[in-house]
Each structure stands twice: as C-alpha cells, then as structure tokens.
Structure 1
C-alpha cells in the first residue's frame, strides 16, 4: 500500500526542482545583449568593458556602452560615475573631439552610455587614446589606453572652417538604416572652442539638398531643413530617398541670423555643395 505514494511525490519533487531552475535562469539578464565588445581596459582591480553595435570604433558618431567589473568579486559596478577624454596624437600636436557626458543607461543596472565623434584617424586606425576617469564609493580612479578608430567607408562626418573663422564638426547620426521613404535625418553640430573642448552649437539651421550624382544628379521631394532640438541638442530634418544607391547630402550651414557660414546651392553650374555628407544603401 505504501508504494502508491512514491510516484506522485517523485513528480512533485521534479516539478519544484525544474521550477526553481527556470526561475534562476530568468534572472540572468544580459544587459549588453545585441552589442559587440570593442575593447576591455584593465585598471588594477577593475576591468572596463566598451561596447557598441559593430564592435569597433569608426570615424563619425559612435554610441558607446560601458560596464565596470570588480575583478575580485566578478560583479559589475552599479553606482559609479564616469567621464572620458579621447585624444588623438598628431606629429606636432594633440587634440580631442566632440563627446557627451556618460550617464546610466535607461533601465539598466550596470551599463553606462555616451557618444564620441571621431573626426579623423590614421589609415591603420592608430593615433587615438582614451582616458577614463571614474569614481566608486567615493574613490577616484583613472586609466588611459590606446584604441583603434577605423575609417568609415563614406563621409559620415566632416570638419570645416566657417566664414566666421570658427572650426565646426558635423556628424551624421540617422538614418542608420535608410529606406526608400522619407527618413528622419539627425546630425550633431559642434564647434572647436580649443583643442580639447567641442561644445554643441545651438539654434543654427542646416539646409538640405540630397542628390544622386550617378543618376543625373536628381534630387527628391519632401525634404526639410534641419533645425535644433533643445531636448537632446541634435539637429533634425527629413531626407527623402526615392531609390537605393549613393546619395550626396548637400548642405548649407546658416547661423541664427540666417548668414551662410559654409556651403552653396546646387545648380546646373554647381553640381554639389562644398559641405556635404554621404549615404549609400
């Protein structure tokens, strides 16, 4: 008579065992899922991990995610504050580039994020270093490491001198995956205050005239010029892409008074502006 209880008890034990394992697995959330590791930087008891969607730095706009691991406990730090300074070493000088502050990624416990805009690089990707400063539990740390920055295949950023004798950096952010449609165009605009400081330029206008040089230099309908957005400090407009292929995004930069600082109209006698970005899809 006792044997009739053994089978049900065994099933109950198996059920609770499986349920507990599933619960544990469900808590293993990968906070960098969908991102590729660019580089790890070891600094004493901490390892800083750098990620983005491609797994490498490129010229132009780079959205970067960071994590700091305590090497002793093999856990990731949730309460750090971070800042960074990218520097390119030239033969006779060094300079930085536009960059954001680093903040905690929305909805993440251990991931921090920001952006860097590399305006140039050497052919082999060398020349750049990255200094990371961070604070954990009131203690300050700093580490500097060389990094590789590869050249993007199209002109997705440009550095230029305006007619006001100010050096500007313009970088394409969106569309990342252009389609045959009216696409949201998003760019960052910065000026060189000095070799290490590149503040955001506010309240300018960027006139847009997209053309296909390989197709008779035709344009497209329903484009809108880019204007400044106070919410995130970027410029937004619409770019209409009517077919796949290579597009030259001809631009003119106008200050708050409407004065053209760089760029020209595209006409029958002038096939492109001296200020432009490129898209190909």
Structure 2
C-alpha cells in the first residue's frame, strides 16, 4: 500500500510540473487577447505571423505584433525586425508613421505600431512589409474607416508649412473620470518618411460638443520620448468628446487646433 501511495504521489507531482511548465510557456497562439492577421514565410523558411490587439485595423494608431519561428518550429527572439507600410494609390505611393518593433519577453512577440492615415478601398490599398534580418515578406492589409463620430488621427499643415500627424495612443477604451492620455506626433518629411516630433509644447482643451461644456483638472501632455506626449484628460460623462490640441514650438504656435474625436 505504501509503495502504491508513493507511486501515485510521484505521478501527481510529475503531472503538476508538466502542467505548470506548459502554462508558463504561453505564446501568442494561446493568447486570446491577440488576433492573428496573417502568416507568411521568408526565403529562408522563417514563419512570420502578424498579430493585432483587435480584429479590425482602422484609420488610427494600431499596435501590431510579429512572432517568428524557424524551420524546426522554434521561436526566434533575437532577430532584427522592421515594418514598412505603403499605400498604393495606383498613380502614387505613400507610407505612414511607424514605430519599429522590438522583442517583448512579456508578450513573447515583437511589438511595434503603425498609424494608418486612410482606409483601404477605391482610393488604394495597403501593404505592410515585414523585414526579418533583411528578408522581406509582404502582408496585404485591410484598413477600415474610423467608426462614426470618431477621429483618432488627424493631419494638418502647421504655420511652418510642414504637415503634422497627431494620433491618439490612449485611452483607446475611455471611461468616465480621469484617464491617462497619450498622443503621438509625427511630421511628414516626404511621402515615405514620418519622423517623430520631440520638441512641441502641447496644450489640451477637452470639449463635449453636444453638451457645450469642457472638463476640469486636465493635464497638458508632455514629451516622454520618440514623439509620445503623455498627460491626463477628465471625461465627466459618457458621450461625444473632442480633444483640442494647441501645438507650440517655444512661444510660436505651429498648430492652433489639432482635434481628435472620441465617442463612448
């Protein structure tokens, strides 16, 4: 009896260890929060899988992820990965702001982001080239228009004659009360390059157009790195909200009103 009991305990311990090991090795395939967009293979046989946080990619700042596997199915975590988004409008091509991916051990994914500035459709189509150690694969991307009464990215020409893109990073799921606010600002250097802007002073004025009021205790976004500006916005009730951003370089106003619209 004693021998049988010890054997049962040993088997139970081995089963528990195997279960724990499996649960601690969670990759994107087991992560219900990530949506698989597509999969391609490089010329050398590396499997490149593209992931997102949501089913639909929209005219907005979109976080995009990549997982890599070698020909034996093992994860690759030390590759050099880059994104190149291009909109083909037949008569011309242009890119959009991009944040190049870096490997995240917590996500077990390469994590980056793309600002898609217009929807797919009759005007043109998007591709995203993912380069893995200088080997490119091309994903055809469908980008949908922003939901009605929302605008999470905007492009305006400043007083200096330069086009700037202002994009909402958070909150993507706004709530009543104080919210962390983060925006990304890029400038159009040319049709293919949109470097981040790191030297603006940003003033925030929230407005609820349908009710004709704003909100108190907001904090102006300040630059935190790579064109990201972080602050606080107070939504006093649900509904339609417009975030007015005044962009200044020193004391010079570059953009009087870059506005983004949220609805929740």
Q: TM-score with structure 1 length normalisation?
A: 0.84
Matched, 1:50 2:43: no
> Separation in 1 of the partners of 2:66 and 2:197?
26
Give a deviation string over 1:43-95, Cα, whole Å, max 9, x none: 3522211122213422211112210122x312221221111211011132111
Residue of structure 2 in register with 1:222 after alignment: 217
CA distance in 1, matches of 2:14, 2:199: 56
CA RMSD of aligned residues (A): 2.0
CA deviation vs aligned residue, 1:185-222 (integer Å, no higher than 9, x gap): 1100000111111111112122211111111x111111
Q: What does residue 158 of structure 2 align with?
A: 162
Tell me, yes or no, if the aligned pair for 1:130 and 1:144 is still in contact at 8 Å. Answer: yes
1:258 matched to 2:256: no
Decide whether aligned partners of structure 1 residues 54 and 41 sit closer, same or farther in structure 2, where only a CA change above 3 A counts.
same
* Cα distance in 1, alignment partners of residues 144 and 222 from structure 2: 30
Q: CA deviation at 1:233?
A: 3.5
1:181 aligns with 2:164: no
Task: Give the counterpart of 2:11 among 8, 17, 20.
Answer: 17
Aligned partner of residue 11 in structure 1, secondary structure? helix
Q: Tell me the residue number matched to 1:195.
A: 191
- 1:277 is aligned to 260
Determine if contact 1:59/1:150 at 8 Å carries over to the other structure: yes
Q: Which moved more, 1:178-187 or 1:115-124?
A: 115-124
Distance 1:56 1:14 in 2: 50
Give yes or no for contact 1:125–1:149 (8 Å, CA) kept in 2: no
Aligned match of 2:94: 95
Q: Which residues of structure 2 form unaligned runs of 5+?
A: none
**For the Cα contact (< 8 Å) 1:60–1:156, is it kept in 2?**
yes
Q: How far apart, CA to CA, are the structure 2 residues paired with 1:53 and 1:20? A: 35
Match of 2:69 in 1: 69
Structure 2 contact 65–101 (Cα < 8 Å) conserved: no
CA-CA distance at 1:23 after TM superposition? 1.2
The one of 213, 237, 245 equivalent to 1:243 is: 237
Partners of 1:125 and 1:148 within 8 A in 2: no
Task: Check conservation: 2:88, 2:124, Cα contact below 8 A.
Answer: no
Distance in 1 between residues matched to 2:181 and 2:151, nearest whole Å? 15
**Cα contact 1:158–1:169 (8 A) shared by 2:** yes
Which secondary structure does the structure 2 equivalent of 1:39 belong to?
Answer: strand
Residues 38 and 194 of structure 1, relative CA distance in 2, 3 Å threshold: same
**CA distance in 2: counterparts of 1:41 and 1:111, whole angstroms:** 16
Normalising by structure 2, what TM-score? 0.89
**Contact 1:123/1:151, CA 8 A, preserved across alignment:** no
**Contact conserved, 2:78 with 2:103, CA < 8 A, in 1?**
no
